[in-house]
Amino acid sequence: MTRACESDRVIKVLAFDTFGTVTDWHSGVSRVLADVFPGVDASLLALQWRLTYAPTLAEVEAGAREWSLLDDLHREQLDRVLRENHGISPSVEQLDAAVHAWHVIPGWPDAADSIRRLKTRFVVSALSNGNVALLTEMAKHNGFEWDFIGGADLWRHYKPAPQVYLGIVELMQAEPHEVLMVATHVSDLEAARSCGLQTAYVERPLEWGPVDKPESRCDDDLFHATGMDDLADQLGC
Amino acid sequence: MTRACESDRVIKVLAFDTFGTVTDWHSGVSRVLADVFPGVDASLLALQWRLTYAPTLAEVEAGAREWSLLDDLHREQLDRVLRENHGISPSVEQLDAAVHAWHVIPGWPDAADSIRRLKTRFVVSALSNGNVALLTEMAKHNGFEWDFIGGADLWRHYKPAPQVYLGIVELMQAEPHEVLMVATHVSDLEAARSCGLQTAYVERPLEWGPVDKPESRCDDDLFHATGMDDLADQLGC
């Protein structure tokens, strides 16, 4: 599935999307929601909550609202979904517990080991719309040995804003083509490519749990991998 | 040497100065300078170079010059010291090699292992005037398993500017008193305390190689440790 290409030789930095690509948010968040809101269809609620994600971040990037940490956006949107779709008025403690679920969502089974393999040859960084504290807790919880954690709060911008992709390039003193963006989301990879980064698509067919992923495939990536372990194989790690 | 104090119980994040506290810059830089500039007293040159560090960063913070990466400031100051003190006009390649020496200075013997011990109980971060790329390379070279790398370029400010100390507090979603600044430099610790952080002094008597350290002791730190291993002992790791 790999394109024979010389350009992979100059890759120095791998930048990973986290929610969906490295971690299994649907399972992790559903599990916590089932505990916190007994009687609710937790899998459905997790999907409804996640569907508010991209539009809310887009509002921030459009300037329609001021920059806020993902934790705060998560809280606001869950509260709205619970009230509007489930007739539930959550307590502060319930919202705290649910928002925190994103800090400790489990890695896909190949994630921690693949990061260890990949960091032997590359600088391996998270590049996520999560904030640094969230991602740091997620990494410790799962044993992700990132070389660096690129959280959206470093730039006060959310992907797919170019400031995030160009931000990691600058911090790493790299050229855009020396950075490989790795994600299971076509929109993330397209935005990275438009900033000059190279891209790798990782299949995560179970990302949305019981429903199909809303994005279609794309054939413009330098690598297409069935998982992070396959990507490590393809990169010779 | 530890003060009996309840407050250590609320420490969540350890923020480490790197040059001198975690790594032995005098040995590492002297070794490279000896290779790059044969015939020069490399130990003396390393000391002369390092003595330009604090005043140059202070110029940036005073607004007398625009913000620049430490790599660029290092290059400029070494060039000046070589010309003014040694009558040498260095080549670009010589400056490249010497500036890069700071990316791979060796850790003190207790550093990598102490970070591994400390991260079992705390979030352990670099908090350095080095830039992120420099610190990432240093970490990989030495096996420093930081949870996060706080480089000065994240804030475009140099310690002892308060933006750096308050910056790591904000990124970690912590309160200032939940962060313990660890350094072998009194000025760094004093500035951290003035921002509300707790502080730990680590003895590194050999930091300046053949000459005594220019700073005197201070008794206002919550911890005083003979090394990072001693600090890990005192913190129960």
Please give the pLDDT value at position A2: 44
**Angle in degrees, CA A42, A48, A53, rounded to 5:** 125
A21 neighbors A212 (Cβ within 8 angstroms): no
Please give the pLDDT value at position A219: 80
Residue with tokens 């407050």: B7
SS3 content of chain B, % helix, strand, coil (to 5): 50, 15, 40
- What six digits make up the tokens of B202? 């680590």
What's the whole-number average pLDDT of chain A?
Answer: 94
Please give the pLDDT value at position B213: 81
Q: Do A173 and B149 touch (CB under 8 A)?
A: no
Half-sphere exposure of A23 (CA within 13 A, CB side): 26
pLDDT higher than 60, residue A205: yes
Q: Nearest CB to B145: which of A131, A145, A148?
A: A145
CA distance A164 to A181: 11
pLDDT higher than 80, residue A40: yes
CA distance B12 to A171: 26
Phi and psi dihedrals of B78, rounded to 5?
-65, -40
The H-or-E segment that residue A43 falls in is: helix A42-51
How many CB atoms are located within 10 Å of the residue B168 CB? 26
For chains A and B, what is the number of CB pairs under 8 angstroms? 53
CA distance B76 to B55: 13
* Residue A18 three-state SS: coil
Domains of chain B in start order, with CATH, are 6-24+106-234 (3.40.50.1000), 26-104 (1.10.150.240)
Nearest CA in chain B to A146: B147
Q: Do A148 and B131 touch (CB under 8 A)?
A: no
Distance from CA of B56 to the nearest CA of A (A): 21
Beta-carbon contacts of B155 under 8 Å, excluding residues fewer than 6 positions away, are: B161, B163, B164, B167
Q: Nearest CB to A147: which of B69, B140, B151?
A: B140
User: B122, B149, B166: best mutation site toward chain A, by most A Cβ within 10 Å?
Assistant: B149
B156 Rama class: left (phi>0) / alpha (psi -120 to 50) / beta: left
Q: How far is residue B3 CA from its own chain's centroid?
A: 24
Stretches where chain B sits below pLDDT 70 are: 1-9, 215-216
Please give the pLDDT value at position A9: 60
Residue with tokens 């206002």: B220
Q: Residue-wise over A167-194: b if at least 16 C-beta within 10 A, else e?
A: bbbbbbbbebebbbbbbbbbebbbbbbe
**What average pLDDT does range A66-71 have in this prediction?**
94
Percent with pLDDT over 70 in chain A? 95
Residues A16-31: tens digit of each pLDDT: 999 999 999 999 999 9
Q: Nearest CB to B136: which of A71, A139, A148?
A: A148
B67 and chain A: CB distance < 8 Å anywhere?
Answer: no
Which pLDDT band holds residue A231 (cuts at 50, 70, 90)?
A: very high
User: A171, A178, A179: best mutation site toward chain B, by most B Cβ within 10 Å?
Assistant: A171
Which pLDDT band holds residue A117 (cuts at 50, 70, 90)?
A: very high
B130 and chain A: CB distance < 8 Å anywhere?
Answer: no
Please give the pLDDT value at position A218: 76
Nearest CA in chain B to A174: B133
Q: Which residues in chain B have Cβ-Cβ distances shorter than 8 Å to A147?
A: 136, 139-140, 149
B136 and chain A: CB distance < 8 Å anywhere?
Answer: yes
Q: Do A147 and B136 touch (CB under 8 A)?
A: yes
B173 and chain A: CB distance < 8 Å anywhere?
Answer: yes
Distance from CA of B41 to the nearest CA of A (A): 31
Please give the pLDDT value at position B171: 98
Distances (CA, A) of A14 to A122, A180, B16, B116, B133: 7, 5, 26, 24, 14
CA distance A117 to A114: 5
